[in-house]
Structure 1
Amino acid sequence: MLHRSAVPETRRQRALTTVKRAAGEAVIRGWEVAIELGAIGPDTRRGKRFGAFGNGSIICFPPNTIFNERFIHIGEGTMFGPQITLSAGMVPGQQMVSDPVISVGDRCLIGKGSGIVGHLRVSIGNDVWTGHHVYITDQNHGYADLSLPISRQVMPERPVSIGDGSWLGYGTVVLPGANIGRHVVVGANSVVTGDLPDNCVAAGAPARVIRMIE
């Protein structure tokens, strides 16, 4: 008895293989076209909703959640990776008390799957790069009232600032009140809760300075 693999391929099997291969190529090509056409730039309809969207900047397709764009300002030559979250406030149409709520400078690179959620002021300088899945916010949940679910408690907003030329490693979390200086390296999976001076390397939860860059 012949092993199954030794049985000559029938015409029908060859045709099915050809169809599957062609379908796979079509899916890949379709996805490539979607990535190209779905990106958000300064001249796209979605891009024109932003308070500012600099030349040469792009939000890669597919984004995750983006709303209240008019309170978000983006500089020139900045790239946001796919699956990004950019939101001013918690719900679409929310009126904000400051403008811009979120500002991202020139030549920044915000990694895939990252989130920037602002309510008062999140300011990111020029030439700031991040790894994937970084989260930056200026508001957090409260928990002091035992009669209310934590999801319904909020703490006062505290502005966040990230200085020019800094690098935030994979999975970094930047919490309300954080003030990261210029030319700062933040290690992967760190949690920044306070001030980090210029020209330093910091890591940990909470992030602490582990060396100065001289």
Structure 2
Amino acid sequence: MTLAEAYARFNSGEVIPPNDPAFSVVFPIVGETLRLIGKLNASGDIGEARQILSQILDQEVHESTTVFPPFTTNFGRFTTIGKNVFINHGCSFLDLGGITIEDNVLIGPQVKLVTENHPLDPATRKGLITKPIVIKQNAWIGAGATILPGVTIGENSVVAAGAVVSKDVPDNTVVGGIPAKFLKHID
């Protein structure tokens, strides 16, 4: 199984059991990701942190993008990051379901992007259900917010600090709370 096939499997909408062949493709990469995360978080240089993040994602992170350590991800290869993105301290990305961050996005400290969930049924609970997260251009994710699987944050939208977002956020809106609810439109 290739990495592309594993990605398709994780995004099938089905429960992926722990013995699924897709896991045998991602587990060796997880080990390398953990090693590189250690290097990234030990770095005191923004440019070096960006270069290490590029290795984790297996794609070039544009020089206009900044990530402040510490930063964690469990995999990395299913995340894409646009230009002029700012990722503040202490963010955590669980990306087996896929994370897309478009241009000009601001991500506050301690934000969690979680594309992975487990079934409720105890018999299959060790399996994974994954859904992608998309953060559209010019969005701002406030400090300590959590974005859950399958959510799209619309263009120019703002997620208030501490919010837990379980549903799509339309363009040009502000949401907040637990669960996040519409607060106002942005003109």
| Inter-CA distance 36–54: structure 2 relative to 1 (3 Å threshold) | closer
Residue aligning to 2:104: 127
Residue aligning to 2:140: 167
Q: Secondary structure at the match of 2:117?
A: coil
Specify which structure has the bigger relative contact order, considering alpha-carbon pairs within 8 angstroms and separated by 6 or more residues. 2
The residue type paired with residue 201 of structure 1 is V
Q: Secondary structure at the match of 1:136?
A: strand
TM-score by length of 1: 0.61
The question of 1:87 aligning with 2:74 is answered yes
RMSD: 2.5
Residue aligning to 1:53: 60
CA offset at residue 102 of structure 1? 0.6
Alignment of 1:65-76 (within 5 A): none
Alpha-carbon contact 1:143-1:153 (below 8 Å) kept: no
CA offset at residue 143 of structure 1? 2.9
Percent sequence identity over matched residues? 26
Alignment of 1:16-55 (within 5 A): 35-36=44-45, 39-42=48-51, 47-48=54-55, 50-55=57-62
In our comparison, the structure showing a higher alpha carbon Rg is: 1
- Structure 1: gaps of 5 or more residues: 1-32, 57-76, 90-99
CA offset at residue 213 of structure 1? 1.1
Q: How many residues align?
A: 146
TM-score by length of 2: 0.69
Q: Secondary structure at the match of 2:178?
A: coil
| Inter-CA distance 55–176: structure 2 relative to 1 (3 Å threshold) | closer
- Structure 2: gaps of 5 or more residues: 1-41
The runs of at least 4 aligned residues of structure 1 exceeding 6 Å deviation read none
Deviations 1:75-120 (A, max 9, x none): xx1111111013327xxxxxxxxxx511111111111010111113
The question of 1:138 aligning with 2:133 is answered no
The residue type paired with residue 131 of structure 2 is R
Structure 2 CA distance, aligned partners of 1:183 and 1:105? 15
| Inter-CA distance 38–80: structure 2 relative to 1 (3 Å threshold) | closer
CA offset at residue 38 of structure 1? 9.2
| Inter-CA distance 49–134: structure 2 relative to 1 (3 Å threshold) | closer
